[in-house]
Amino acid sequence: MKTSGGSDAAKRRAGEHAADLVTDGDVVGLGTGSTAAHAIRALGRAVDAGLDVQGVATSYASRDLAREVGLPLVELGAVSRIDLAIDGADQVSDDLALIKGGGAAHAREKVVDAAAARFVVVADPSKETATLDRSVPVEVLPDARATVRRAVRDLDGEPTLRAAERKDGPVVTDNGNLVLDCDFGALPDPGSLATALATTPGVVAHGLFVDLADEVHVGHADGVRVRARD
Ligand SMILES: O=C[C@H](O)[C@H](O)[C@H](O)COP(=O)(O)O
């Protein structure tokens, strides 16, 4: 699984802390990224110890890891509820708005995280910020990349087509689409940008997760700090 910056020990603490919330019979959304991976591994160990749980994967990567650690999987369309989703973030603001999509998995993550009765974000301290200000990943239909680029510029953003690292050309998402990383500077009001992006034709999903997270579990050297939405 692709890693990002931040301490792996802090990510592990956060991931394992969130995995401890899972109880017998739960259906759990399995986020993508290096922090959520710690939760998936912890759940695999809990299954070995007798926990009855089913996971809903948010990407090929989280599905493959769940299989590797023996965590039973179920398709999103085959469940009537998701009790808890555990997912990472690229940035978390003071009011628990998120930027996600560093691994280009945000489209399916948003479906699963939003469907969960409880959405728990796991992070290391490097992800915390007062105001979101990272580039916002925007998944676009390949044919719409030029029109979406123009729309992003009209919103005062600067879009960059995400390039693949070990392949010539762009990143192609699990859904067969492309990603524009859009720099809008600081986002004091991410909700209005989220609406503008969501209503742009050709946008499949953007990486702003506003009013979705219920809790953030941040791993520290001496434990885990939990922040809950008011
Ligand atoms: O597309 C990827 C996801 O949104 C990840 O959850 C996010 O990028 C955070 O990943 P990591 O835990 O590796 O920093």
pLDDT in tens, 18-40: 999 999 999 999 999 999 999 99
Cα–Cα dist 219/106, whole Å: 22
Q: Can you tell me whether residue 164 is helix, strand or coil?
A: coil
- pTM assigned to the model: 0.96
Nearest ligand 1 atom to the CA of 1 is 13
Which numeric CATH code is attached to 136-207?
Answer: 3.30.70.260
- Taking the centre of ligand 1 as the mean of its atom positions, its distance from the CA of residue 100, in whole angstroms, is 6
217 — pLDDT class (breaks 50, 70, 90) = very high
- Taking the centre of ligand 1 as the mean of its atom positions, its distance from the CA of residue 51, in whole angstroms, is 26
- Taking the centre of ligand 1 as the mean of its atom positions, its distance from the CA of residue 34, in whole angstroms, is 7
Within 13 Å and on the Cβ side, how many CA atoms surround 102?
20
Instruction: Delimit the CATH 3.40.50.1360 region(s) of the chain.
Output: 8-129+210-225
pLDDT in tens, 29-73: 999 999 999 999 999 999 999 999 999 999 999 999 999 999 999
Evaluate whether 175 touches 58 at the Cβ level (below 8 Å). Answer: no
CB 16 less than 6 A from any atom of ligand 1: no
Q: What is the pLDDT of residue 204?
A: 98
Cα–Cα dist 205/62, whole Å: 19
CB 113 less than 6 A from any atom of ligand 1: no
Q: Is 16 a catalytic residue?
A: no
pLDDT in tens, 71-116: 999 999 999 999 999 999 999 999 999 999 999 999 999 999 999 9
Residue of 16, 68, 75, 109 with catalytic role: 109
CB 122 less than 6 A from any atom of ligand 1: no
8-129+210-225 fold: Rossmann fold (3.40.50)
CB 104 less than 6 A from any atom of ligand 1: yes
Residue with tokens 């070995």: 48
- Give the DSSP letter of residue 162: P
Over 60: is that where the pLDDT of 1 sits?
no
CB 31 less than 6 A from any atom of ligand 1: yes
Identify any residues that bridge with 187 across adjacent strands, giving them in sequence order.
132
- Taking the centre of ligand 1 as the mean of its atom positions, its distance from the CA of residue 98, in whole angstroms, is 11
Instruction: Delimit the CATH 3.30.70.260 region(s) of the chain.
Output: 136-207
- Average pLDDT (124-136) is 98
